Structure 1
């Protein structure tokens, strides 16, 4: 199941309208004897594809070359995605850098996928482990530089095709042919802007630029506790001064994606950054102007997360 809210101009409207959608979906599922799962992975069943469409058949054919992570990502994971403005032109690179710096911190704080396919895993976020292992060219984090648009464009062009839509029922692309090579004549026909848009939809990076920033590194949360990470991200990116502070607060954990996915805030560097980021988020939350009941609910959730972060101690996980 997927709920995709329309853009909202303020946090209150977003949280209230999405809550209403979740309540409606919950009622429909209850009537059918079903309920929303609480985690970011299917804790009970092995992955099994049920959508028999050309796109998903081509995706599985591509991902199976790299192992089992791809089918796991496709069939057994669920994420919470938050879309944020890119900001003014002179702030795009900083906001991009901040979102990447915050990735290990927030995926650790909100890790919610330790079980997979009926078994406990050694990962607090088995979803992140599966996504990052699916196909590195397509799922690893983006490059952080002063010109993220140029870096992203080069990466997209150099990424192999998953789907080659050429009129037949089989969309499986020839192995290793990149979009740039298609432009250069490696495949029949000339790719269109629609083909490029479709290729972009097969990029599964932790942050995906789409004219805005689509943050994709959070595990799905329990139905009653999804608002806290959403409100936290909005609070951290509502004011450019706070963005700068968030970037600085997250620095100790930069690049520690697998550490965070494996042990969460048990990693001392991630824990230190998490305390600073959560404290900053709690101090910034009043700027959102949430109604008292929503503000209190989000605050309680973030306070609980902060209290669960281990206190400083010696040692370092490498």
Structure 2
């Protein structure tokens, strides 16, 4: 019998719930998530659910993945602490298991991509590594059969102009990292928020829109600027004196709700108040108070550049080729998991103003590594951040079978800052050069 989640009677329960994420350093883990865009090999059109995504999820079960259903529809798989799930427009996501070092993460990513390719090949499908669909129009993206996505899809029309674009045409890579205490969480939260635009520039990989150049290096990041201001952004209050778990909960409680999950169904609570829910005054479940499980569901509908749960999620990057899926967690682990590196990173960003941080967030999607900042560029900041990350990874000294530590995963990022060209810049050069403006070449060049 499933355990019943405790009913929330006091704010202290929510604070304690987040504080339960505090772990001693030896127990810190790395969880990496990435999405990818599927396409039919012959038509190059998106993969539908029936006869496509559904078949892939069914086929992956040969690798000992257990299916997860919503009604009669298979919507996810689970195995050994990891999951494969279905995003709104058929993007396939791997949410990796909590692992000790990036070498394990890279093995996990490689195994997953091999499994997906084997199954996808059988139905003449493939997947590409881009942060935004290169040539598919919004109306041509198939809708996946998940209840929460219908509620989100309808609500997005009311709160921003690009919310549906985010749902159906973007792809990201994220990493989830631990903290030891409230003070440790706060410092990591501040450093990672400030440096998130630098990561966005390094991993920029979405320069196309409907077959043409869109004028951005990370159009995925641009889309988030006009998705839903109530639940996105750079969270300036995180830098306020006295910030901690309670202040984040206060913020979360003021973010409008999407849904309440009851009996296998998603009840539409879009735009309603979680504070009313706490008082038993939410009309869709009249008289009920929320459980901690309801609170977790609500936290999962908040999308700032860094998100707090019982861990911290780095959310600022476009998905990319295999090497970048490994580089992304390595970059953040080096910055945040060694105390000396974390202190140095804080020294780098601690005098940046809220206005400067917000301006970087707005400028980087368009200009990438060339974005100006205080008589320098983001490229210069990326050089500094990579040097700090390398120091942190060296100090961790987590070796693979060849005696290499995790700094091996920074090499591609080193090349980006050496040349001043991210993956987006390389794709722009190809589009204007060898591809001769033929966007369909992206399906060959960016296929996993």
TM-score bucket of the superposed structures, by smaller chain? 0.7 to 0.9
Q: Does 1:132 align with 2:225?
A: yes
Q: Which runs of 4+ in 1 moved over 6 A?
A: 166-170
Equivalent residue in structure 1 for 2:163, among 61, 66, 70: 70
Counterpart residue number, 2:442: none
Question: Is contact 2:323-2:409 (8 Å) kept?
Answer: no
Counterpart residue number, 1:316: none
Counterpart residue number, 1:90: 183
Question: Is contact 2:260-2:269 (8 Å) kept?
Answer: yes
Equivalent residue in structure 2 for 1:151, among 207, 224, 247: 247
Deviation of 1:74 after TM superposition, in Å, equals 0.7
TM-score (norm 1): 0.88
Counterpart residue number, 1:290: 399
- Counterparts of 1:12 and 1:167 in 2: how far apart (Å)? 40
Q: Number of paired residues?
A: 309
Pair 1:71–1:49, CA change in 2 (3 A): farther
Q: Does 1:309 align with 2:420?
A: yes
Equivalent residue in structure 1 for 2:278, among 183, 189, 207: 183
Task: Give the RMSD, CA atoms, in angstroms.
Answer: 2.4
Higher helix share: 1
Q: Does 1:235 align with 2:334?
A: yes
Higher alpha-carbon deviation: 18-27 or 292-301: 292-301
Question: Is contact 2:282-2:288 (8 Å) kept?
Answer: no
- Counterparts of 1:159 and 1:302 in 2: how far apart (Å)? 35
Higher strand share: 2
Pair 1:182–1:295, CA change in 2 (3 A): closer
Counterpart residue number, 1:160: 256
Counterpart residue number, 2:77: none
Higher alpha-carbon deviation: 90-99 or 42-51: 42-51
- Counterparts of 1:123 and 1:233 in 2: how far apart (Å)? 24
For each residue in 1:209-265, what CA deviation from the matched residue of structure 2 results, as whole angstroms up to 9, or x when unmatched? 121111111110113432112211111122111012122334556331111112111
- Counterparts of 2:398 and 2:146 in 1: how far apart (Å)? 44
Higher alpha-carbon deviation: 263-272 or 97-106: 263-272
Counterpart residue number, 1:274: 382
Higher alpha-carbon deviation: 262-271 or 285-294: 285-294
Unpaired stretches in structure 2, ≥5 consecutive residues: 1-91, 422-448
- Counterparts of 2:163 and 2:363 in 1: how far apart (Å)? 20
Equivalent residue in structure 2 for 1:211, among 291, 295, 310: 310
Counterpart residue number, 1:33: 124
Counterpart residue number, 2:368: 264
Question: Is contact 2:204-2:317 (8 Å) kept?
Answer: yes
Deviation of 1:68 after TM superposition, in Å, equals 3.6
**Secondary structure, counterpart of 2:174 in structure 1:** strand
Q: Which has the higher contact order (CA 8 A, sep 6+)?
A: 1
**Secondary structure, counterpart of 1:205 in structure 2:** coil
For each residue in 1:93-123, what CA deviation from the matched residue of structure 2 results, as whole angstroms up to 9, or x when unmatched? 1111011011011111111111133332122
Equivalent residue in structure 1 for 2:269, among 156, 159, 173: 173
Counterpart residue number, 1:315: none
Deviation of 1:139 after TM superposition, in Å, equals 1.7
Q: How does 1:47-126 map to 2 (within 5 A)?
A: 47=138, 48-126=141-219
- Counterparts of 1:170 and 1:285 in 2: how far apart (Å)? 43
Question: Is contact 2:323-2:412 (8 Å) kept?
Answer: no
Unpaired stretches in structure 1, ≥5 consecutive residues: 311-318
For each residue in 1:278-302, what CA deviation from the matched residue of structure 2 results, as whole angstroms up to 9, or x when unmatched? 2222343333433346757524312
Question: Is contact 1:72-1:130 (8 Å) kept?
Answer: yes
